[in-house]
Amino acid sequence: MKANKVLDNLKRRFPNEPEYHQAVSEVLPTIEEVYNQHPEFEKSNLIERLCIPDRIFSFRVTWVDDKGQVHTNMGYRVQHNNVIGPYKGGIRFHSSVNLSILKFLAFEQTFKNSLTALPMGGGKGGSDFNPKGKSNAEIMRFCQAFMMELWRHIGPETDVPAGDIGVGGREVAYMYGMYKKLARENTGTLTGKGIELGGSLIRPEATGYGNVYFLLEMLKTRNIDIKGKVVTISGSGNVAQYTTEKLIELEAKVVTMSDSNGYIYDPEGIDREKLNYIMELKNLYRGRISEYAEQYNCKYVEGARPWGEKCDIAMPSATQNELTGEDAKTLLANGCFAVSEGANMPSTPEAIDAFLEAKILYGPDKAANAGGVSVSGLEMTQNSMKLSWSAEEVDEKLKSIMKSIHEQCVKYGQQEGWVNYVKGANVAGFMKVAKGMMAQGIL
Ligand code: NDP
């Protein structure tokens, strides 16, 4: 395999999909060496079979707003690879959603799910529906309309969706309600369900907590204590909130959060009371982060991201390509020594290069944010067994999964005197999927 050739070919066959090309081009060079040690992979064209999704569904979603106006949106489900288990990955509702974004997410998800060591394949879905400013009833009608199409393609042993940007507990519950009505079964298809619907404790917390657990493992390799460290976080949704919660518990100092309008900088640090305010603001009133600055009299910067603020550790937790090469240089110049990614593909290729060159502790998305899908996997297990584990039990399992992911990264990413976590995560995730694909024959 020649990484460049494969990529050029994909670009020619699937033009106008820049995020998909970006995700593939981040992985291929890191697995080229190990791939080429297995001539049988090349003969069976494993790489194209791994990069191109198994299938993609796309459909129109029609719904009615509160004034009686009818709207249409597009809905998609990308079933990328199911060699290790049922397709598994979230659903995103955001006006920017298109096939390029969902294909990048489904591709990444396949490697991430492989890393968790749980039996899950990779998939992703979503819609270009914009949930901002919609009433509860409009959200419900949209979720129901979306599921009226999607339900025939998913199932507990086929494809198990979850939440992502714009899809939290409320949306999962509406979708699951409609799914049950149509499929006439109650086997837990969809994870991230509320406890009252058979969900798992710690699922809302899992991605944020998991990212902090991964960060702690990285810090341990350099004997660094998290206590008192200054952390910049982007986003103020599910992942950002629970990352902050865990960091407060560990006595680190989170000084920034953001949304798509701008960021707040609170030099005193966001404490428990302030985080409660953010959770209420974002989860209940669906307000803007600028309101935090008014409430607590601190700096708010409109239309910017927080990477210019001085920190020890950065944890991007909003969206793809939110941290550029210039941002990375600023972070490094300000003394940042660790970056752990809560969001999917938040760092641009130039930023990743800068982090790797500086040999800082850089935990890439598919390793660092795998806690969410891991607890989704544990939710599937509990649903199959018709029982529920305590929060402590789930949290312990989450810790041990993140530790094991870190170990795999170290094993496969060891270079002279430092760990390249990007290479480690990609090679470890790839090898398991590749072996499974070889074992099951040409499909
Ligand atoms: P939420 O919808 O709960 O929150 C998203 C946050 O990011 C909001 O603050 C939102 O601001 C901000 N944001 C979204 N899009 C943009 C944009 N284009 N520019 C700037 N800010 C933006 O989503 P999650 O917290 O669940 O997801 C955040 C990231 O984490 C995503 O990359 C997701 O794929 C990834 N992830 C999530 C997992 C999960 O379990 N939820 C698991 C693994 C990864 P606003 O409110 O203004 O839109």
306-349 pLDDT, tens per residue?
Answer: 999 999 999 999 999 999 999 999 999 999 999 999 999 999 99
Q: Whose C-alpha lies nearest to ligand 1, atom 19? A: 260
Ligand 1: residue whose CA is nearest its atom 4: 237
Protein residue with its CA nearest to atom 21 in ligand 1: 260
Across residues 138-165, what is the average pLDDT?
98
**Closest atom, ligand 1, to C-alpha of 320:** 32
Q: Best of 130, 203, 234, 238 to mutate for ligand 1, by most ligand atoms within 8 A of CB? A: 238
Give the pLDDT of residue 251.
98
pLDDT at 200: 98
pLDDT of amino acid 260: 97
Pairing between β-strand 338-340 and β-strand 313-315 as defined by DSSP bridges: parallel
- Gap between the Cα atoms of 303 and 298, Å rounded: 16
Predicted confidence at residue 103, as pLDDT, reads 98
User: Which of 96, 104, 164 most suits a substitution to test ligand 1, by most atoms within 8 Å of the C-beta?
Assistant: 164
Per-residue pLDDT, averaged over 214-236, amounts to: 98
> Under a CB-based contact definition with an 8 Å cutoff, are residues 244 and 230 in contact?
no
What is the edge-to-edge ordering of all strands in the sheet holding 230-233?
A: 299-302, 262-265, 253-259, 230-233, 313-315, 338-340, 361-363
Nearest CA to ligand 1 atom 34: 344
Structure tokens that stand for 194 in this block: 């509320």
Ligand 1 atom at shortest distance from the alpha carbon of 261: 47
Helix residue ranges, H only, 203-344: 203-220, 238-249, 272-279, 290-296, 325-333
pLDDT score at 315: 99
Nearest atom in ligand 1 to 241's CA: 25
Catalytic residues: 124
Q: Amino acid letter at 416?
A: E
At 97, list the tokens.
């959603």
Summarize the confidence of residues 89-101 as an average pLDDT: 98
What is the average per-residue pLDDT within 43-59? 97
Within 10 Å of residue 2's Cβ, how many Cβ atoms? 11
Q: Quickly state the pLDDT bin for 388 (edges 50, 70, 90).
A: very high
- Which atom from ligand 1 is nearest to the alpha carbon of 94? 15
User: Cβ < 6 Å from ligand 1: which residues?
Assistant: 163-166, 168, 207, 235-239, 259-260, 317-319, 342-344, 369, 372
pLDDT (mean) for 93-120: 98
Helical segments of 88-202, H only: 99-115, 136-150, 169-183
Q: What is the mean pLDDT of residues 241-248?
A: 99
pLDDT at position 82: 98
Q: Which atom of ligand 1 is nearest to the CA of 369?
A: 43
Strand, helix or coil for residue 84: coil
pLDDT recorded at residue 170: 97
Burial of 71: CB neighbours in 10 Å, binned 0-12, 13-18, 19+: middle
Report CA(235)–ligand 1 centroid distance (Å): 6
Tokens of 443: 């499909």
The residue nearest atom 7 of ligand 1, judged by CA position, is 318
Report the pLDDT value the prediction gives residue 158, as an integer from 0 to 100: 98
Question: In the predicted model, what is the mean pLDDT of the chain?
Answer: 98
Q: How far is the CA of 260 from the centre of ligand 1 (A)?
A: 9
Q: How far is the CA of 239 from the centre of ligand 1 (A)?
A: 7
Could you give the 3-state DSSP secondary structure of residue 256?
A: strand
- pLDDT given at position 220: 98
Smallest CA-to-CA distance from 215 within 351, 74, 102, 369 is with: 369
Mutate to test the pocket of ligand 1, among 78, 132, 165 (most ligand atoms within 8 A of CB): 165
Cβ neighbours, 10 Å, residue 16: 10
Buried b (16+ CB within 10 A) or exposed e, 196-205: ebbbbbbbbb
- The residue whose C-alpha atom lies closest to atom 33 belonging to ligand 1 is 343
Residue pLDDT, tens place only, 9-28: 999 999 999 999 999 999 99
Q: What is the pLDDT of residue 13?
A: 98
Alpha helices in 55-121 (DSSP H): 99-115
